Structure formats: C-alpha cells, structure tokens
C-alpha cells in the first residue's frame, strides 16, 4: 500500500494567508449593489452591447434585467428554441434587446471582461476550494500582490457560474446556479450601453 503525503508548499500557504486578509464588502468602493435576484436553474448570461441590459438564460427560459434599476423588463418561458446557440455562445435577445444577438458565458463556456477602463478588475481564487471567492480590485492591483489588500475586497463567495463586467465597464455581475448579483458604478455618467 502506498501512502501519498501532500508536500507542504510555503508559497501556497503564503498566498492563502494573503487572500484571507482581504475583507469582504457588499459593494466595492465607488459601486452600489443594484439587485440580488433568485433565478432557479441559471445556466448562462450576457450583457447587451447597445443598452444597459443583462440577458439571463435559465432552465425556465430567458429574462432581461435593466442594469440601472435591477428591474426585470422582459421574460420568455420557452425552455428550448433556436434562440440559443451553446456552441457559438450566443443568444437572441428579447424585449428591449430583441434585435441583438448577445454573447453569453456560463456553464457552456465563454466569458465577460474581467477588467474595465477605470483600472478596476475582478479575479477568482479558491483558497477554500471548491468554493470560489470573487475579488474586486482597483488601481490595477491584484489580491495576489503583497500590500494590495487596501485596493481589493471580496464581493462574492460561491460556486460561481459566470461573472464579469459589462462591455461599457459600468456594470458588474456575479452568478451561480440560483442567484445573481448586479452592481453599477456610482457617479460615472453611466452610458446607455
């Protein structure tokens, strides 16, 4: 019988200790949480490139949220259809974004921007795997840089399916299989897209 021992890695321990020193926040400085929504069976999502809307795809159809207010502005209960292409990671919008083909991310792959034009970024790390922690950082910092804790905060901790900034950089989303959280940047003359 062979017994395997995990080699102690001091650098890994240092990084975990550093990540554990970063505080949690409901919203990053300069941002406000718009809404937390329960969405059962959430699989994928995507931001409009032409308006401040977020498209959600779930096992129960599609929904569209206004990123400024957090209000649901459109809903389609069709569970399947040619409106979603999981290989191309695109979904036809509904309601105010009905004419737009939305790039998606989630369980089928894809991704949203992890940074914006304001020097802000997000990073996923899992010091307590399999749970992922979502860190928000400003001023081009990273939670893995020594001394950057003052520029970073943990804004979510969950089995995340999708996260990222909108294409305009003024909105941020984090989602798991049952909930999504949407933030918007404060005092920034938020554009329509």
DSSP secondary structure string, 63-102? EEEETTT--EEEEE--SS-TTEETTTTEEE--GGGTT-EE
Q: Is residue 42 within 8 Å of residue 161, measured between CB atoms?
A: yes
- Mean pLDDT of residues grouped by 10 in the chain (193 residues)? 67 88 95 95 96 96 97 92 94 97 96 96 90 94 91 93 96 94 84 59
List 8's β-bridge partners, or say none.
none
| pLDDT at residue 127 in the model | 83
Instruction: Kindly state the DSSP code that residue 151 receives in the 8-state scheme.
Output: G
| pLDDT at residue 6 in the model | 64
Q: Is residue 68 within 8 Å of residue 53, measured between CB atoms?
A: no
The whole-angstrom separation of Cα 51 and Cα 63 is 15
- How many residues can be counted in the chain? 193
Q: Could you tell me the CA-to-CA distances from 165 to 122, 140, 168 in Å, in that order?
A: 9, 15, 8
Provide the b/e sequence for 120-159 (b: ≥16 CB within 10 Å). bbbbebeeeeeebbbbbbbeebebeeeebbebbbbbbebe
Q: Is residue 170 within 8 Å of residue 186, measured between CB atoms?
A: no
| pLDDT at residue 4 in the model | 61
């Amino acid at each position: 019988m062979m017994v395997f021992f995990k080699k102690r890695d001091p650098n890994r321990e240092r990084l975990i200790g550093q990540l554990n020193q970063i505080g949690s926040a409901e919203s990053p400085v300069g941002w406000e949480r718009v809404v937390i929504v329960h969405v059962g069976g959430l699989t994928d999502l995507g931001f409009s490139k032409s308006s401040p809307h977020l498209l959600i795809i779930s096992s129960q159809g599609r929904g569209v949220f206004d990123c400024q207010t957090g209000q649901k502005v459109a809903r389609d209960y069709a569970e399947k259809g040619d409106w979603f292409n999981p290989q191309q990671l695109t979904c036809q919008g509904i309601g105010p974004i009905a004419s737009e083909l939305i790039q998606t991310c989630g369980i089928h792959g894809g991704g949203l921007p992890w940074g914006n034009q304001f020097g802000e970024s997000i990073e996923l790390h899992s010091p307590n795997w399999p749970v992922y922690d979502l860190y928000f950082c400003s001023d081009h910092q990273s939670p893995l840089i020594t001394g950057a804790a003052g520029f970073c905060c943990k804004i979510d901790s969950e089995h995340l399916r999708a996260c990222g900034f909108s294409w305009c950089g003024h909105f941020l989303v984090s989602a798991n299989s049952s909930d999504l959280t949407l933030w918007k940047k404060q005092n920034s003359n938020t554009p329509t897209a």
